[in-house]
Amino acid sequence: MSKSKKKDVPVILITNDDGIMAPGILNLVEAVKDLGKVVVVAPDKPQSGMGHAITIGLPLRLHSVTSFEGIEAWQCSGT
């Protein structure tokens, strides 16, 4: 019985604070998409300068994004 070797594929998480539609995030996806499984999670709107903010009393929501062809991508609400 032969065992086939399974090649581990790295998972590359791409995120930012500028929002899901920021030009830099698309450029980064293009640069690394052949290096592993890419997953994008970014805010639904720019959140720059919100490092000490916290969302309380509102639900956090994730929505699938299809802007990145063939790449799993999500936009999230909150801070």
Query: Quick one: which H or E segment has residue 72?
Result: strand 72-76
Q: How remote is the C-alpha of 68 from its chain's centroid?
A: 10
Per-residue pLDDT of the chain (79 residues; tens, 9 = 90+): 455 566 899 999 999 999 999 999 999 999 999 999 999 999 999 988 888 888 899 999 999 999 999 999 999 998 8
The residues with which 14 forms a beta bridge, in sequence order, are 40
Q: Taking the CA of residue 21 as centre, how many other CA atoms within 13 Å lie in the half-sphere pointing to its CB?
A: 3
CB 78 within 8 A of CB 25: no
Domain positions in the chain are 11-76
